[in-house]
Amino acid sequence: MGSQPYAGGPGYHEDALFGLEDIDTGQERGAPAGAGPLFRDSPAARRLLSVRAIHAEPAAAASPRGRQVIARFPGAEVIPVESHWGIPELHGNEGNVDRWVRIKSEVLVLGEKKTLTTRPNGRSADWIAPGPANGCAMACAYCYVPRRKGYANPITVFTNIERIIAHLSRHVARLGPKAEANQCDPAAWVYDIGENSDCSVDALISDNVADLVRAFARWPAAKASFATKFVNPDLLLLDPRGRTRVRFSVMPPEDAKLLDIRTSPVESRIAAAGDFLEAGYEVHFNLSPVVLRPGWERDWALLLRHMDDVLPGPVKEQAAAEVIMLTHNKDLHDLNLGWHPRAEDALWRPDLQQPKRSQNGSWNVRYRNAVKAEAVEAVHALVAAHAPWLPIRYAF
């Protein structure tokens, strides 16, 4: 299903820019007839995002997408700012650690993405697309996003979605058809659209993700991809036509209860796979992060056996996985000690870790080479034993 190209309707041409007539204008989109209320209007969604303040660049607030976001949270105070990066009380303020989760829930930022760059990747995806948002309402203790954005990490919605999609349309057109299969995909250029956010949560706020799913459904040479730890059933109402890959991140439930704060339970992520495949998505899994602690191999074996037991055959037939070993960071370690020190008992293991310079120049820690190599080999063996239908696309 997921690898079949979509030829488009009459008059469709792969080179064509995504038409402005196909961009949502900011009006609230209702559920299709008979679909019932949208999940994003439910009490559960409102608990995750009970927005009280929206820091907004003036142009972003005035845009159709900005007006859509503001309309979704009518009780929120709109606070003008010159730049979405220039909010001292939110960005780079270590004093916010005691309000970490509250800020994620109660604050949004609206801005325009000024620089549109598509970067090569070659691991999970061929390309990293300019994302429609950054930041996250969830609070995973190991997440690298806060390192890039400051100590408070609310979601920033980029309102100039039409520019982002036009940029991607030109990029796809320049590439043309994919000539050679690789680990990312055998036939399509894969674009990660959620590097610095979780698109399932972003879709609770605006139609940016819906617009991207709609765009990729029209581009036969390309496929969108994003990892998620949140089950948003509103995404099932879209029409991806096999051109969007959802990668559900999973880990042993005991790890998730300690580390995956404010996310959907791992069991729910696995249970959603069949529904997403039936709705037209390609469904993969991220075994991520693999955290080395006593009993980790036993618990990963239990998780893989659970996946083997409950996943329907069609999901297994098209699934693949990425294995991502934990990478941690000294600044994030210090931050976690201020709000969730128990997490650091599992994450901060100087006896097993070594420093590593990241691509953005910061110093992280990862498992020592020999420790990591042994663990990756163990994960491969566990998958082969308990979920042999699950090919591993890459391990990092």
What's the pLDDT tens digit per position in 346-360? 999 999 999 987 766
pLDDT of 99 = 73
Chain center to CA of 138: 11
Closest CA to 279 of 320, 238, 317, 246: 238
Q: What are phi and psi of 129, to 5 degrees?
A: -80, 155
Q: What is the dihedral of CA 72, 76, 80, 84, to 10 degrees?
A: -70
pLDDT at 157: 98
- Give pLDDT, residue 26: 38
Using CA atoms, how far residue 81 sits from 50, 54, 76, 90, 245, in Å, is 21, 10, 15, 12, 35
Q: 132, 212 in Cβ contact below 8 A?
A: yes
| Number of other residues whose CB lies within 10 A of the CB of residue 67 | 17
Instruction: Look at residue 24 in the predicted model and tell me its pLDDT.
Output: 39
Give the pLDDT confidence score for residue 338 in this predicted structure.
Answer: 83
pLDDT of residue 13: 29
pLDDT value for 337? 87
Confidence at residue 361, expressed as pLDDT on a 0 to 100 scale: 65
What span, in angstroms and rounded, lies between the C-alpha atoms of 232 and 207? 13
pLDDT value, residue 273: 98
b or e along 342-365 (b: 16 or more beta carbons within 10 Å of the residue's beta carbon)?
ebbebbbbeebbeeeeeeeeeebb
pLDDT at 220: 94
The ranges of the chain with pLDDT < 50 are 1-31, 33
Q: What's residue 381's pLDDT?
A: 98
